[in-house]
Amino acid sequence: MYQLSQFSQQPPYRFLDQLKWETGVETTKKLRNGAGPPANYLCVLSLCAPVVTILSTLHADRNVYPSAGVLFVHVLEREHFKGEFPPYPKPGDSSNDPITFNTNLMGYPDRPGWLRYIQRTSHSDGVLYGSPTAEHVGKATIIEIIAYNRRTFETARHNLVINIMSTEEYPLPYQAEFYIKNMNVEEMLASEVLGDFLGAVKNVWQPERLNAINITSALDRGGRVPLPINNLKEGVYVMVGADVQFSSCLREVENPHNQLRCSQEMEPVISCDKKFRAQFDIDWCKINLVDITKMIMIHSNRLDPGTGVLPDIGGYNPPPESLKSRDFFADFLITLAVPSAVAMVLFSVLGYSMCCRREGV
């Protein structure tokens, strides 16, 4: 289970623009014929601006409610933000304008640490994704989203309010992290692809509850950017959690034979690999199985920060004036005389070698 949200409502700005354009044409014809402005024209002049303002406010904020410990995916659709920009010169014209997004936590230059963002090109949708933790529960996180139209250089602003909810299933006791070599992170975040992967994992693991916890690009783990040949992918790490112990298939990589093959950079023999191979190329040597029930919790006692005020240890006590003065003249002579004498000797030897020991002299 994972949570997916997206902007799906289209703002009705083009209807208002078309209404004002048609009313303006009718008014121009009537004024040329000597008639006064129509009543609906006055109505548009007095009411259209407040209506546009109200619609902008209604579409400015969007609330989503992800759960702690569950993968959160939010799609920034370019088609939705196209309605925020002025209409095209001719009715019915369409354009594939390049649109990019800038996302940040309100009042800060970047996003929260758990929230990532990716947009491969300016002609593709942007995606916010991440896994909030229990410490973020009950805190409203406001993300500012600014869309840039790279053709007209105009911007549109939206606010995304993330209300993180608590869940009784957090955290799931058994977690497995898979490394998928033939996927990029934005491809894996697609609902149908992630759903197919969770279905394959559920078929192998057979849990009652199965959640996608997190997705991380291999580049964020120190991976290299692949060469643009043979349709190579960056690779992604996908962590899932379940409520039952790991199946025997997932534990096959831990046997000595497969461990030896992994140390020799050979593929291990996994019986259930065929259930993934049709769509997902998994590196079984990099699978990571975590049993939270066996982890030892270490509680560190934090030091008392105190009031932040230094204790009063009295005023400044300067040194007494009865200290004996020290003469540094001898030290100065030694410091200056010794290097000077060595320099003179070297200069003399060099001058003798160059001037007095030349051939023919």
Judged against a pLDDT cut of 90, whether residue 321 lies above it is answered with no
308 inside domain: no
Residue that finishes a domain, picked among 123, 140, 163:
163
**What pLDDT score was predicted for residue 184?**
92
31 inside domain: yes
**What pLDDT score was predicted for residue 360?**
60
Same domain, 115 and 220: no
- Give the model's confidence band at 36: pLDDT under 50 very low, under 70 low, under 90 confident, else very high: very low
Same domain, 123 and 195: no
Judged against a pLDDT cut of 60, whether residue 19 lies above it is answered with no
139 inside domain: yes
Same domain, 17 and 146: yes
Q: For residue 93, which amino acid is it?
A: D
- Give the model's confidence band at 1: pLDDT under 50 very low, under 70 low, under 90 confident, else very high: low
**What pLDDT score was predicted for residue 298?**
56
Asked which of 17-31, 154-168, 308-322 is least confident by mean pLDDT, the reply is 17-31
Asked which of 120-134, 155-169, 216-230, 310-324 is least confident by mean pLDDT, the reply is 310-324
Average pLDDT over residues 321-336: 84
Average pLDDT over residues 86-115: 80
Average pLDDT over residues 195-203: 93
97 inside domain: yes
Parent domain of 248: 174-294
**What pLDDT score was predicted for residue 85?**
79
**What pLDDT score was predicted for residue 80?**
83
Same domain, 200 and 142: no
Average pLDDT over residues 330-346: 91
Segment 251-270, tens digit of pLDDT: 998 999 999 999 998 999 99
Indicate the pairing of strand 72-76 with strand 3-6. parallel
Same domain, 117 and 23: yes
Judged against a pLDDT cut of 90, whether residue 162 lies above it is answered with yes
Judged against a pLDDT cut of 50, whether residue 315 lies above it is answered with yes
Same domain, 66 and 123: yes
21 inside domain: yes
339 inside domain: no
Judged against a pLDDT cut of 50, whether residue 65 lies above it is answered with yes
How far apart CA 256 and CA 290 sit, in angstroms, is: 19
Same domain, 15 and 156: yes
How far apart CA 268 and CA 181 sit, in angstroms, is: 15
Residue/partner pairs of 335-342 with CB below 8 Å, 24 or more apart:
none
Task: Please give the tally of structural domains in the chain.
Answer: 2
61 inside domain: yes
Residues 105, 141 contacting (CB under 8 angstroms): yes
Residues 267, 228 contacting (CB under 8 angstroms): no
- Give the model's confidence band at 51: pLDDT under 50 very low, under 70 low, under 90 confident, else very high: very low
- Give the model's confidence band at 286: pLDDT under 50 very low, under 70 low, under 90 confident, else very high: very high
Question: How many Cβ atoms sit within 10 Å of the Cβ of residue 131?
Answer: 22
How far apart CA 331 and CA 236 sit, in angstroms, is: 68
Same domain, 124 and 194: no
Residues 240, 210 contacting (CB under 8 angstroms): yes
Q: What is the pTM of this model?
A: 0.64
Same domain, 217 and 289: yes
100 inside domain: yes
Residue that finishes a domain, picked among 163, 189, 208:
163
Residue that finishes a domain, picked among 117, 132, 163:
163
Whether residue 311 has a cis bond before it, omega within 30° of 0: no
More confident residue, 326 or 186: 186
Indicate the pairing of strand 288-291 with strand 174-180. antiparallel
Query: Percentage of the chain surpassing pLDDT 90?
Result: 42
Same domain, 106 and 13: yes
Same domain, 236 and 148: no
How far apart CA 291 and CA 174 sit, in angstroms, is: 5
Helix axes 39-58, 13-32, angle to 10 degrees: 160
**What pLDDT score was predicted for residue 28?**
38
**What pLDDT score was predicted for residue 39?**
41
Question: In 3D, which of 236, 210, 235, 239 has the Cα closest to residue 131?
Answer: 239
Which CATH number covers residue 140? 2.60.40.10
Same domain, 180 and 155: no
Question: How many Cβ atoms sit within 10 Å of the Cβ of residue 176?
Answer: 20
Average pLDDT, the chain: 78
